Amino acid sequence: IMFNPVSDADPPSVKYEEMSIWSLKDIQEFLHNCKGERHYLTFLLAIYTGMRRGEILGLKWSDIDLEQKVIHVKRSLAHVAKKGYIFTSLKTKNSKRQIPIPEFVLNELVLHKKRIEEWKELVGSAFGDRDLVICTNTGTLQDPRNVVRVMKRIVKASNVPNIRFHDIRHTHASVLISAGLDIVKISKRLGHANPKITLEFYAHLLPNTDNDIADTFHQTIQIQKN
């Protein structure tokens, strides 16, 4: 055809998923109830790093710098039609990132690694070592659906809001925003393509400064008058 019939059409607005988040009290209650669970570290990493579920399940020990206290996010575990769960490349170049972690999380990683080494000695050749941080009893890929099942059970026992695993990522972001951290730094930590995406997701969580803006404008006008 000679022309594009949709060239003058308005593109549909992007609709982001509705999010639910935990309060600090909810976080503490949940972590308290899952202490000792097989997936304790899975949830701890989600809460303390904001990593996506696939990124956590794709994490290898070679991605963790214990000395520098940094996690290098390099891949994700995803379901691909006719192939099942496999490692895939990350969405954007910004998704491939470094995430600093506190001493507390570092210590839990060290303990977890020690438990895996002990289990490897126990099961011997039955353990197929793939260097995975989160794996099954035989070292294979962890099915994300098992993580969800465990989370639902702990959520119910903890009597906290029943949120999705991905909402833990939103919770992480909300804690950082409420602490007053720069949105650019938060965006980099979450692996967003740019800070604009972070703002679109979490603008409603930013502190309301409208009154400050109004007062500042008025004060500026008064100074000019004088």
- State the average pLDDT over residues 173-192: 93
Residue 134 falls within a domain, yes or no? yes
Residue 178 falls within a domain, yes or no? yes
Provide the CATH number for the domain around residue 89: 1.10.443.10
| More confident: 11 or 134 | 134
Q: How many domains does the chain have?
A: 1
Average pLDDT of the residues of the chain: 90
- For the question of residue 83 being annotated catalytic, the response is yes
Q: Tell me: pLDDT of 83 over 80.
A: yes
- For the question of residue 166 being annotated catalytic, the response is yes
Residue 102 falls within a domain, yes or no? yes
Model pLDDT, residue 222 = 73
- Among 39, 112, 189, 192, the active-site one is 192
pLDDT bin (cut points 50, 70, 90) of residue 17 is: low
Model pLDDT, residue 215 = 73
- State the average pLDDT over residues 133-145: 95
- Among 39, 169, 170, 189, the active-site one is 169
Whole-number Å distance between alpha carbons of 96 and 74: 5
Contact yes or no for 171/178 (Cβ under 8 A): no
Model pLDDT, residue 111 = 97
- Among 60, 72, 164, 166, the active-site one is 166
Buried b (16+ CB within 10 A) or exposed e, 3-22: eeeeeeeeeeeeeeeebebb
Residue 219 falls within a domain, yes or no? yes
Model pLDDT, residue 204 = 78
- For the question of residue 48 being annotated catalytic, the response is no
- Among 52, 75, 170, 172, the active-site one is 52
Whole-number Å distance between alpha carbons of 196 and 194: 5
Identify the three-state secondary structure at position 59: coil
Q: Give the range of the structural domain holding residue 211, as residue numbers without chain letter.
A: 24-225
- For the question of residue 204 being annotated catalytic, the response is no
Could you read off the pLDDT of 199-222 as tens digits, one per residue?
988 887 876 655 666 777 767 777
Whole-number Å distance between alpha carbons of 47 and 23: 12
Residue 54 falls within a domain, yes or no? yes
* Closest alpha carbon to 98 in 188, 4, 208, 193: 188
- Among 83, 93, 204, 225, the active-site one is 83
Model pLDDT, residue 6 = 63
